Amino acid sequence: MAPWLTDWRGKYHGQAAAMLSPVSTDEVAEIVRLCAAEGAAIVPQGGNSGMVGGATPDASGHQLLLSLRRMNRIRSIDAAARTAVAEAGVVLENFHHAALDVGLRFPLTLGGKGSATIGGLVSTNAGGTQVLRHGTMRALVAGIEAVLPEGSIFDGLAPLKKDNRGYDLRHLLCGAEGTLGIVTAACLHLIPANAARQTAWVGLKSPEAALALLRKLDDGVGDALEGFEIVPKSSLDAVLRHIPQTRAPLANPAPWNALIELAGDDEGALAVPLEATLAAALDAGLIDDVALAKNERESEDFWKLRDSISEAERAEGPALQHDVSVPVDLMPRFIADNPARLAAEFPGVRTTSFGHLGDGNIHHHVQPPAGVDGQAWLAQHGAALSRAVYSHVIELGGSISAEHGIGQMKRDILAELDSPARLHALRAVKAGLDPAGLFNPGKLIG
Ligand SMILES: Cc1cc2nc3c(=O)[nH]c(=O)nc-3n(C[C@H](O)[C@H](O)[C@H](O)COP(=O)(O)OP(=O)(O)OC[C@H]3O[C@@H](n4cnc5c(N)ncnc54)[C@H](O)[C@@H]3O)c2cc1C
């Protein structure tokens, strides 16, 4: 069980009485009923790629790990209706391939696609790099099948466009982090496979310039804009240092970079407005340099740089990760002000901000001052430092978790900083559906 008792970042280590790996929804229901009768707590787990310790059991050794990985069948793909029903344990990358095999695409992707499962993606309402155009997991879920805490099977797989029977259980289960139900399968929306895409890597001076470029692209290329990610020089340097077979796209390093992706039916219809918009931005001095991917291979190389940042930063040593959102227009201000605010209180800390600028969501990582024992420093100052980051986010009307969820990592800070009204509602829903508190206790609000 060892690999499944520690989270992907190696921050949380738990114990479990046993790991159970059912192969069917009926087996999951049977397990849940037995656990309800015995008062045994269940920790659901998919690919164990989550970032907040949500799938790691506690240290008691009394909890049961419920791995959904063996439920890995794609039950059906309806190419005409553009939907597919996938079991919880289907790995995202495999799902992408299955959709492509019938000329379709599942428009959600992220760096952990080789591990993350459909059940985990639903349960964390995952985002990724195409949210700008296609939304988070919740927008792509047409139906859900789940086992509820008393052992009943909720069959909500039918892809109903209209359904006003009160509270939407599908939406409640999206982002519930295994605290309300065990997701056993999901019906997911697909779109036509890309006939063409255009990928550009742009060097620029600041997040303000990146936001101004994003606005120009909104006007210039419209709906075709699918991804807009920002990468500071420090993150790109970390990738080039630690990840094999990577190289800088621009001859002259820029303080900031933007990775831009357009997708559509026709190469020319994408390339013409993209090149015109970037040329105008160059002329206006908004951007310093640009590299356009000449083929699929170069597009993938650009994305590899972006997708490897988490891995590269992990290799750089200990850091505190904050996955936060603020209204898009305020993001440059947050990125500029936060390091200064932190440096005043915690001299010497080093910050990087990268990610989904177009969604108002960045990953804000803070490393301890150079030359100190990083782990010891974080143990002493980490909680206060994160509180300072989150307080700033809340001042700007933002969220302390944009896409990774709450898990065990942010449970206490959520309870401290979230509004009383939201906390009351979250706790009431949890108590109503799982009164014995056996589904993923200690996570989110439990
Ligand atoms: C390199 C890398 C990049 C990443 N990039 C992104 C990104 O851009 N955007 C993003 O949103 N996330 C990202 N992630 C985080 C992670 O991939 C997502 O959170 C993903 O949704 C987790 O899926 P999983 O199957 O690994 O879930 P796990 O880690 O196994 O579990 C996550 C949570 O869901 C619960 N859970 C799992 N399966 C079920 C189920 N069947 N029923 C009920 N509850 C369940 C668990 O109890 C836990 O609370 C990244 C991760 C890595 C490693």
Counting as low any pLDDT under 70, the low residues of the chain are none
Q: Which atom of ligand 1 is nearest to the CA of 440?
A: 47
Looking at residue 38, what is its pLDDT?
A: 96
2-13 burial: b if 16+ Cβ within 10 Å, else e: eebbebbbeebe
Looking at residue 223, what is its pLDDT?
A: 87
Rounded to 5°, the CA angle 351-355-359 comes to 125
Looking at residue 194, what is its pLDDT?
A: 82
Beta strands in 59-172 (DSSP E): 64-67, 74-78, 83-87, 104-105, 141-147, 153-156
178 CA from centroid of ligand 1 (Å): 11
Q: Which atom of ligand 1 is nearest to the CA of 123?
A: 34
369 CA from centroid of ligand 1 (Å): 30
50 CA from centroid of ligand 1 (Å): 4
Ligand 1, from 11, 24, 42, 110: best to mutate by most atoms within 8 Å of Cβ? Answer: 110
Nearest CA-CA partner of 112 in 360, 314, 398: 314
440 close to ligand 1 (CB < 6 Angstrom): yes
204 CA from centroid of ligand 1 (Å): 32
Looking at residue 245, what is its pLDDT?
A: 94
402 CA from centroid of ligand 1 (Å): 13
Mark residue 151 as left, alpha or beta (left: phi above 0; alpha: psi -120 to 50; beta: remaining): left
Ligand 1, from 11, 32, 70, 123: best to mutate by most atoms within 8 Å of Cβ? Answer: 123
Ligand 1, from 11, 51, 66, 307: best to mutate by most atoms within 8 Å of Cβ? Answer: 51
Q: Which atom of ligand 1 is nearest to the CA of 43?
A: 47
Amino acid found at 363: H
Q: Which two tokens stand for residue 131?
A: 């949210």
Q: For 294-333, write each residue's pLDDT tens digit.
A: 999 999 999 999 999 988 998 998 999 999 999 999 999 9
Q: Which atom of ligand 1 is nearest to the CA of 127?
A: 11
Q: How far apart are the first and last CA of the chain?
A: 24
DSSP H or E stretch at residue 424: helix 420-433
115 close to ligand 1 (CB < 6 Angstrom): yes
119 close to ligand 1 (CB < 6 Angstrom): yes
Cβ contact 68:45 at 8 Å:
yes
CA–CA separation, 278 and 190 (whole Å): 30
**225-232 and 182-189 as β-strands: parallel, antiparallel, unpaired?**
unpaired
